[in-house]
Amino acid sequence: MTTTETTPQPRERILRAAADLLEAGGREAVSTRAVSAAAGVQAQTIYRQFGDMQGLLDEVARRGYAAYLADKQANLTAGDPVEQLRRGWDLHIAFGRAHPALYRLLYTDPRPGEGAAVMGEAHDILVRLVTRVAEAGRLRMGVEAAAAMIHAAGIGVTVTLISAEAAGLSTAHEGLSEATRDAVFAALISDEESSAGAADSRAVRGARHAVALKALLDEDGTDGADGTDGTDTRSFTPGEHLLLSEWLTRLAAPAGTEAR
């Protein structure tokens, strides 16, 4: 085997060097000079391969996120939808704690709008998990609103734990993730017993059923109109579909709020 076959190409060396620097010292450590020295390349090579340092950081983020996304995809197997959602929360927290610098780069970068393409798939998976809970008749509000709450709470917990660990205060926040997860889920999701209708008011039960039907209607609209997914779209015209969706959105909105 030749040296060329065993020595990583410049692009790979640059990516590895940047990832190692990010993990060890955070974003500030990933400078042109540091990456060039660690990868054994000239600065021009970095710009030729990635355009600029932000392009390099974006590619590092995409690579680092790949394993996490694979775990999230694997969690989309058949099973109890609430348990899947709970595992999804735990995977998110574990990823952030294992890769704090990468997590901050993805979720707390001050540049608005950046990183959306990298994290879009993870958001889609979250929405799919929440949709399954809705389809089971156990979600108390609309899918998008519930997913936004879970997303925001998960980021807040993860950043808090990362900061606590950096300050050596991990024990002060022991159990924070589980307690927050359970509190958020309790507010958003009905347990299996109350799904039968005994524990909730008529309005709450009605809202839950509206959420479930809207989730099925929305999924039907995206999966196609040929009935292959087990639903029948032949009953509604596009206008009727839109009107029913609007009515269900109103019914699904918590009392005293405006449907969105």
Retrieve residue 112's tokens: 């608005």
Query: What is the maximum alpha-carbon separation in the chain?
Result: 74
> Does one domain contain both 117 and 228?
yes
Task: Give CA–CA dist 218/181, Å, rounded.
Answer: 26
CATH number of the domain at 29, please.
1.10.10.60
Residue 30 is assigned to a structural domain of this protein: yes
Residue 141 is assigned to a structural domain of this protein: yes
Q: Is 80 helix (H, G, I), strand (E, B) or coil?
A: coil
**In degrees, to the nearest 5, what angle opens at C-alpha 245 toward C-alphas 242 and 250?**
130
> Does one domain contain both 203 and 79?
yes
Indicate whether this model's pTM tops 0.75.
no
131-146 pLDDT tens trace? 889 888 898 888 889 9
* Domain carrying residue 34: 1-51
Retrieve residue 149's tokens: 């709450």
Look at 187 and 205; give whichever has higher pLDDT. Answer: 187
> Does one domain contain both 121 and 236?
yes
Q: Is 92 exposed, middle or buried (0-12, 13-18, 19+ CB in 10 A)?
A: buried
> Does one domain contain both 77 and 185?
yes
219-254 pLDDT tens trace? 655 444 344 444 454 566 777 767 766 766 766 665
> Does one domain contain both 15 and 74?
no
Q: What's the number of domains the chain is made of?
A: 2
Contact 182, 191 (CB under 8 A): no
12-31 pLDDT tens trace? 999 999 999 999 998 899 99
Residue 59 is assigned to a structural domain of this protein: no
Residue 258 is assigned to a structural domain of this protein: no
Retrieve residue 220's tokens: 């039907």
Q: How far from each other are the two terminal CA atoms of the chain, in whole angstroms? A: 62
Q: Is 8 helix (H, G, I), strand (E, B) or coil?
A: coil
Look at 146 and 256; give whichever has higher pLDDT. Answer: 146
